[in-house]
Amino acid sequence: MVKLEGYTLGEALGEGAFAVCRLGHKNDNPTQKVAVKSLMRDHPNFDPTALQHEINIMKAINHPRCIGLIEVREDDKAVHLVEELASGGELFDRIIELGHFTEKDAVHLIHQVFDGIQYLHTHGMIHRDLKPENLLMVGKEPGTDEYMQLKIADFGLSAQRSESKSDAEWNKTLQEFCGTQDYLAPEVFKIGAARNKKDPSLHYTGKVDVWSCGVIYYIMLCGYPPFWPEDDEILKMIKQITDGDYSFHSPQWDPVSEDSKNFIRACLTVEVNDRPTSIECMNHPIFKNDNLPTEPLGMLDELAKYKARFKEKAVLKGVRAMARMELLGKSMHWEVKADDPRQKEADNLFTTIDSMGDRNGSLELFEIILYMQEHYQHIFSHKDVDGQMVVDEEKLKSFASFLRDSLDRDRDGLISKEEFIKGYCIWTMNIHKAEQQSMKNLLAKDVY
């Protein structure tokens, strides 16, 4: 049980790969509720450098639309981040809970998001992982002002200009492939697939946050995402994103105003130079319109299906994992030789993973991440406090890095075709072990 001197800790608000967040209060001020996120030092994924980065970001933030850091406490077992409490849960859960959601409500909420993003951008910060799970409602009591107020959370992937010593270092930071694929701007994929990353002009900007907000607002109004092919094929999704291929054709869009549609069109502009900044977005006519529709939007059922579809997808992948585990042999040589029948299998898999990016004959980290997200999300899925299946993206990306490093013999940050084929058994063994651990957790879910 996590303890923190001077605080009383209560129920768990959430749990990640190596951190637990609990409701708490300071012993000398019981009425002021806080969230205490404890990151365990003995966990293999504990990264003091990444943690210090997140702390530096949060210390620099002081805005009502962003979760604030109250203090940092350390002991032998953990580093504890005492943060402002947003007790109302995630944005989409609140919308479903309302049972009556209007376009006026949607504008009220997305305006708060842009208010926070504008603050970050004008203070040299880019969030880089805006999604509904990182938008937390302040209050949980209907009828109070806090019930329809939100705060932006989770700054672990955020970029801060003041942390970079030079423009070149800052530009390199803005070449990193990070975020959640459904909400990623097209330029993030294009830069990730580029061969020559030494070009100083090749970097994204704070407009990636504007794109993510456009995706979120689209879902708020219709209940489903703008980019989501029927067969869930990731390459098709990426093409839809990079082409800006979405529409307002379903009946859910009939009652939505042209102001909202135009706002989405602006946010989801593929050409970066034509996409507005967050400051320009705050001046959009939608935020000055006093006559927004107040009739209920017919999207709550669609939104509930959207959330449930992710849960079903995770369960199905878990079942498929069991089948794959049965087919894996127990004996395994460490290196695939030239006459090994598995060479063709390794060759085909290499081509599949490479096709997720630039097809340049070597595997980069972002291509491995995309492959893991497409085929092995189930390994990193767990139930949240509401019983919903969620994916631990940080754990997935950490495992993808581990896979790359285990095969990257010349330590150049890439896996060549030769390295992949020779190390194919190591690759499959590591995935097999991760699936075994995931399956144990799934089978034991009823007693934990």
The rounded distance, in Å, linking the Cα atoms of 367 and 417 is 14
Output phi, psi for 31, to 5 deg: -80, -20
Q: Which two tokens stand for residue 400?
A: 């993808």
Interacting residues of 285 by C-beta distance below 8 A, sequence separation 6+: 259, 262
Closest CA to 129 of 394, 337, 435: 394
Count of CB atoms within 10 A of residue 368's CB? 23
Going by C-alpha positions, the residue among 293, 277, 303 that lies closest to residue 114 is 277
Using alpha carbons, list the distances in angstroms from residue 243 to 279, 370, 432, 436: 25, 18, 36, 38
Asked if 392 and 16 touch (Cβ cutoff 8 Å), the reply is: yes
Provide the H-helix boundaries in 328-387.
342-354, 365-375
In this structure, are residues 34 and 70 in contact, taking their beta carbons and an 8 Å threshold?
yes
Q: Which of 93, 105, 129, 392 is an active site residue?
A: 129
Identify whether the C-beta of residue 152 lies closer than 8 Å to the C-beta of residue 127: yes
Beta-carbon-side half-sphere exposure of residue 309 (alpha carbons within 13 Å): 13
Q: Select from 130, 309, 346 the least CA-distant residue to 230.
A: 309
Rg (CA), the chain: 23
Burial of 243 per CB tally in 10 Å (0-12, 13-18, 19+): exposed
Cβ within 8 Å of residue 356, ≥6 positions away: 234, 235, 238, 367, 370, 371, 374
> Beta strands of 252-369 (E only): which ranges?
362-363
Does the annotation count 259 as an active-site position? no
The residues with which 71 forms a beta bridge, in sequence order, are: 82
Active site residues: 129
